[in-house]
Structure 1
């Protein structure tokens, strides 16, 4: 009976999402009500009202870490989109090269990770998918490419999901970010191969294997190095910028070769003016991202400045084991970037208001659903439910739990469509089970964070959104089956990667 009652909150999430067809927001809130009822009615997990309130508030404070960053990340996106920045990026790429495979690689390994790393919430998918359609891809292919481009989710919204995962898992952010990047290297390569296959099939993989490997290696190594030596929060942004920059260099070199072969050395005044205008426009569009990167870079690497930020305007609640430096958080620098963006693009009051309204509409559901999932985890932990589940899983699987952990993380990402939500639900369970059976909790946290992140691309809600964006609702099941199969392949690679790490340990 103890086991059944402990697993009911997780089962309720499944039931609300898949059988009752509720949104993640409603599934989280209703499941929170279920776990509260259990702690009130079932003697085995009974909590006092004081403990209930304490656990719930602790969950809310943890959720604030993500909410603070995400609000200004979404707002920055709407500012840039409102002034035509996203359209400028699409136009620039289409003008830069007619090679569809190079376009795909730049969007999947560069532009999408950049947007996702600063905004989060799967916003990159909503932007990149229409760009693929505009570039001439069939809507089904465009949706699949947009989903696959979400390969930087562990660093989405300046790594808020990873930050919360580190806090819940009792591991340093730098270690979790680096470990996630390390085991994700084969997954990055896998997703880029899949993207090229979707775009052009095996023939284009064979024809463009050099470019494919170059983009894969640059992105993978950049993400790993920036996590290790710079900042986990900035790793996705910097990795995407490096990959995009090198991608554009490849296009330029290829263009020069073609011009040389065609003896087309004379460029008209009109073409030169157009190219200059495009470069200026693109630089202006990218300037907020560059500014954000520089600001956070300085705040992390300039020791006196960092110490000032970490010691001023710090919210500390010892009774809730919560501490947050408001100025040191990426959320503050996103806020500063939003202000600078208003001046750079001279955004008027009406557009600011419209952007704020759109931001609140997207932000509020996320905050409520994330808070609900984190509160569920905290209440389950306080009541002893997670200990029950961990002990049971440890007794059943033993050391084989190393193979099960990525599946659990994958289920969490698939259900919630959010790395933050999945880590909130399962990170404590994963860590406690690892400790129960004597496995490295570090490897388990890497597996949880990576698998939950990469599985979000198969979230039913995201697939439904993609089908709606491209006007192909009848193809929803087909897309869901395809992307689910792709995600299963990534989970298998994560299992292999974690096994290799454990052997080499």
Structure 2
């Protein structure tokens, strides 16, 4: 039992640093890395050597490159669009399309945000949505919270990359994991819609727009489930967003006039450009094969590859160039956006780096395995209730569904087999809880606070969004119990 309690110390330390001492995410991650590596090296409970320490640092750094590649160009695109007044144009269009501020929020967060997240991932949707909400008059803290909750399509972010990798690691078919995750996510989509409604307007908004939000959340859940089962896991989030947009348009009398607005068509050109590029790269086999086989960074001994031309980061970069061209931006403006990007991207990238390294150290030192196996042994079939918590903790710490699945999905499946329950159920719980807990990841919260220019409120934001994420885990656990009863 002593190794078990020692294995929990790094997680408890991170929580204390973030919530007790209120350190920023990157500082808490750095302290956590130093402490955890020291504990693994100098306590007798973990057979961990200095030579082994190099591997988590190497692996974590390589994994962070994937995230940094996207974040840098995502933030740069935001600043370019902001400098070109695109954000202002979109905010004006949404405000003019309906006089109802609550409906404006619903359009942005339940339709547009999941679409962007499905096609780009890594929280890019939050970078886009939060500034528009602020421009529409939403209080900055509320805007960040709402934009974080709007990241409801994370299981299918970047066309389901985390789900695909999770299926490979868990020895499941992609369709099986996708359908199971969609089933568990169905009630969470409704929960997110209602939470967004409450954040935007309180109880009065819940009363006046309940059915609108309920139908939007339900349509997202049902369409994602059907697309996973009958069409494609990778495209489920994209078409789910289109379905939600159609549902919300039904509540608007001037929907035909909206489609004819020339200013908004011009403002949407960069987003449409990005969407088209991503769709073509995923749907045309020959093009996909070319992009995956050229310009690839490979580290064979770690089974690591970064396809530079296939990554969303590359298409974000092309969209940045496209934006500069169509809006004829001047050199001075471009230089200013680069400066702002460097300033805002650095703390986010370092926070991501340190948290991924921390998770790799815990995995290499077998801390995560000890936690999972001891918990499974003591709880037996009740481990099913803890499974979403483990997945959620992985998403919270790493800010990446891919990284979280890499840490925990094998252990979740093995623990389920060990105690005789369905390994598919724990895989669903891991993938779903991990994805939806990312909204409370310190790196995501830091990114939101940075974009909204309220860094002093980072810890307050973290507390509030963590409560919402805990509510999400409760919803997932209830759904998991229902699935266990129906299909034990």
Q: TM-score range by the shorter chain?
A: 0.7 to 0.9
CA distance in 2, matches of 1:62, 1:184: 26
1:107-149 deviations in Å (ceiling 9; x for gaps): 2202333454566565655664564465466677656544433
Q: Which residue of 2 aligns with 1:103?
A: 104
The question of whether the paired residues in 1 share the 8 Å contact of 2:140 and 2:452 is answered with no
1:228-258 deviations in Å (ceiling 9; x for gaps): 667666554554355335534642xx2389x
The question of whether the paired residues in 1 share the 8 Å contact of 2:352 and 2:399 is answered with no
Q: Would you say 1:319 and 2:333 are equivalent positions?
A: no
CA distance in 1, matches of 2:336, 2:232: 33
The question of whether the paired residues in 2 share the 8 Å contact of 1:373 and 1:421 is answered with no
CA distance in 2, matches of 1:306, 1:120: 18
CA distance in 2, matches of 1:87, 1:36: 47
Cα pair distance change 1:465/1:334, threshold 3 Å: closer
Which residue of 474, 477, 483 corresponds with 1:495? Answer: 477
Q: Which residue of 1 aligns with 2:324?
A: 342
CA distance in 2, matches of 1:143, 1:69: 20
Partner SS, residue 315 of structure 1 = strand
Q: Would you say 1:297 and 2:279 are equivalent positions?
A: yes
The question of whether the paired residues in 1 share the 8 Å contact of 2:446 and 2:458 is answered with no
CA distance in 2, matches of 1:5, 1:399: 24
Give unmatched runs, 5+ long, in structure 2: none
Q: Which residue of 2 aligns with 1:50?
A: 51
Cα pair distance change 1:342/1:233, threshold 3 Å: farther
Matches within 5 A, 1:209-358: 209-225=210-226, 235-244=236-245, 247-248=248-249, 250-251=251-252, 254-255=253-254, 279-358=261-340
Q: Which residue of 1 aligns with 2:383?
A: 401
Q: Pick the structure with greater CA Rg.
A: 1
The question of whether the paired residues in 2 share the 8 Å contact of 1:215 and 1:243 is answered with yes
CA distance in 2, matches of 1:315, 1:465: 30
Q: Which residue of 2 aligns with 1:455?
A: 437
CA distance in 1, matches of 2:15, 2:344: 23
Deviation, structure 1 residue 95: 0.5
Q: Which residue of 2 aligns with 1:180?
A: 181
CA distance in 1, matches of 2:285, 2:457: 55
Cα pair distance change 1:158/1:331, threshold 3 Å: farther
Partner SS, residue 22 of structure 1 = coil
Q: Which residue of 2 aligns with 1:152?
A: 153
1:339-372 deviations in Å (ceiling 9; x for gaps): 2222222223222222223223333333322232
Cα pair distance change 1:283/1:400, threshold 3 Å: same
CA distance in 2, matches of 1:256, 1:323: 45
Q: Which residue of 2 aligns with 1:386?
A: 368
Q: Which residue of 1 aligns with 2:21?
A: 20
CA RMSD of aligned residues (A): 3.9
The question of whether the paired residues in 2 share the 8 Å contact of 1:62 and 1:164 is answered with no
Give unmatched runs, 5+ long, in structure 1: 258-271
CA distance in 2, matches of 1:120, 1:224: 19
CA distance in 2, matches of 1:160, 1:65: 12
The question of whether the paired residues in 1 share the 8 Å contact of 2:78 and 2:127 is answered with no
Cα pair distance change 1:435/1:368, threshold 3 Å: farther
Cα pair distance change 1:36/1:193, threshold 3 Å: closer
Q: How many residues align?
A: 485
Cα pair distance change 1:33/1:170, threshold 3 Å: farther
Q: Which residue of 1 aligns with 2:8?
A: 7
Deviation, structure 1 residue 91: 0.7
Partner SS, residue 45 of structure 1 = coil
Partner SS, residue 371 of structure 1 = helix
1:452-503 deviations in Å (ceiling 9; x for gaps): 44334456783996699598989986x7776555433322211122223334
Cα pair distance change 1:71/1:424, threshold 3 Å: farther
The question of whether the paired residues in 2 share the 8 Å contact of 1:140 and 1:475 is answered with no
Q: Which residue of 1 aligns with 2:85?
A: 84
1:165-190 deviations in Å (ceiling 9; x for gaps): 66766666665555433311111112
Matches within 5 A, 1:58-207: 58-117=59-118, 122=123, 124-125=125-126, 128-129=129-130, 131-132=132-133, 135=136, 145-156=146-157, 176-200=177-201, 205=206, 207=208
1:20-76 deviations in Å (ceiling 9; x for gaps): 221221121221112221232234423344332233212322332322233222222
Cα pair distance change 1:230/1:200, threshold 3 Å: same
CA distance in 1, matches of 2:349, 2:17: 19
CA distance in 2, matches of 1:381, 1:139: 37
CA distance in 2, matches of 1:305, 1:131: 34
The question of whether the paired residues in 1 share the 8 Å contact of 2:70 and 2:122 is answered with no
The question of whether the paired residues in 1 share the 8 Å contact of 2:163 and 2:402 is answered with yes
Deviation, structure 1 residue 399: 1.6
The question of whether the paired residues in 1 share the 8 Å contact of 2:391 and 2:434 is answered with yes
Partner SS, residue 297 of structure 2 = strand
The question of whether the paired residues in 1 share the 8 Å contact of 2:125 and 2:151 is answered with yes
